[in-house]
Amino acid sequence: MSQSPARFRELAAFTRDAMPRYRVPGVALGIVAGDDEHMATFGVTSAENPLPVDADTLFQIGSTTKTITGTVVMRLVEAGKLDLDTPLRAYLPDLRLADEGVAQAVTPRHLLTHTGGWVGDTFDDTGWGDDALSQMVGRMDRIPQVTPLGDRFSYNNAGFYLAGRLIEVATGESYEKATHRLLLDPLGMTRSFFFPSQAMSYRFAVGHIAADGPPKVARPWELARNANPVGGLASSVTDQLRYARFHLGDGAALDGARLLSAATMQAMQTPLLPMDSFGGWRGITWAIRAMGGITTVAHGGATNGQMSAFLLAPSHGFAVTVLTNADTGGQLQLEVVKEALRLFLGIDEPPPAHQTLSEAQLAEYAGRYAGALANVEVSVQDGQLMLQAIPNGGFPYPDSPPGPTPPPVRVAFVGPDHILALDPPNKDVHAEFQRDPAGRVAWLHFGGRARRRVEP
């Protein structure tokens, strides 16, 4: 008899007990374990207008949508309509970027591996018409180039405006229509929508700001339409398990229809470039990491007060998804995914040993590291290195005010230039400092973003 039901009951209880600690109003949890599937839902959709979360409740999955965009791109690659290594100007001849050399050379592969090098966290509102993406692409020449094309991984939302526009040009359809036709509909994802006008006729979760007290509804609910390929899908835990089944498989839908070849599915989950120096790799949209000797592929997402996690272990036929409706849901997800890996796969990695550095050694890292949505101040206090994120605003719309300033976080070194956060809201999150050719600390790679040091 399968042990997965008992293990899932334990995981569900763990999740329920963690919710009050992080003030998360609602959670949907799903597991694939071989032939078994399990779902559990907890809490409510909204602190103001509460309805019980159920298996069909729509949560915003945020940037997990990027893997959907990437999967559709790969369908078009197999159809011969796109090529990963052909410059974008073959498809978008009017493309203009801040760096003309980059505009001439950038390819779809750069987009899907986050190596474009321009400022990634750039958001704007170009309306709700079918030209929203084309208009946004027309504004990309205003986005500064930060690193050379292909030089390094740095999480890049703006690259997926271009990826979505490629889909439109290759299909002659809107991004949303093409994505439903080529992927969501064949997978039977009938509770997955891009438009608020669609989601509002079903039970859906609203985001909450809970980092600074009791949960308060976050507004606005929607992202701009041009952000749909970046992170605009609302989906249910039921549909997320359908999506997980597909990416655990060989490219066939549940009804046997062939959407992608097994070789393409494998290529998407193959490490292409390092994300960091402590074992993280990037595939085609997926983050890839070996944990306890088991390869995992994952993505997560964050919108205005909603956080999602999505992780696969293809060799074990395992998947976990956690959907939450609070900005504090990220820490809950880290704990739940870690517990799921322990219960179902036996992965229980001990925390890394902390290294002791002198105050003089720590002072080498102090300074301000600039990012689009938040700067990070690094300081030394009483022999302890501290990170303080300072939100800048600008999400989900350019005029959106900064969110609450989180508390400072203690960090410990666990390797050369490699740090581990010790406190919420980033507890157990890894990051690293990166050096320039002269050996000076020049970047902080934190939250997937390469933040340039601008003030020692």
Positions marked active-site: 63
> What does the alpha-carbon distance between residue 368 and residue 230 come to, in Å, rounded to a whole number?
28
Determine contact, residues 411/420, Cβ cutoff 8 Å: yes
Q: Which long-range contacts (CB under 8 A, 24 or more apart) does 133-137 make?
A: 133/161, 133/164, 133/165, 133/168, 133/175, 133/225, 133/226, 133/228, 133/229, 134/165, 134/168, 135/226, 136/161, 136/165, 136/226, 137/92, 137/95, 137/161, 137/162, 137/165
Task: Give dist(CA 74, CA 264) in Å, integer.
Answer: 7
Helix (H, G, I), strand (E, B) or coil at 273: strand
Q: Are 288 and 272 in contact (CB under 8 A)?
A: no
17, 39, 402, 404 from 306: Cα distances, Å: 19, 19, 16, 15
Residue 400 DSSP code:
P
Q: By CB neighbour count within 10 A (0-12 exposed, 13-18 middle, 19+ buried), where does 377 fall?
A: middle
Query: Which of 384, 349, 392, 393 is CA-nearest to residue 365?
Result: 384
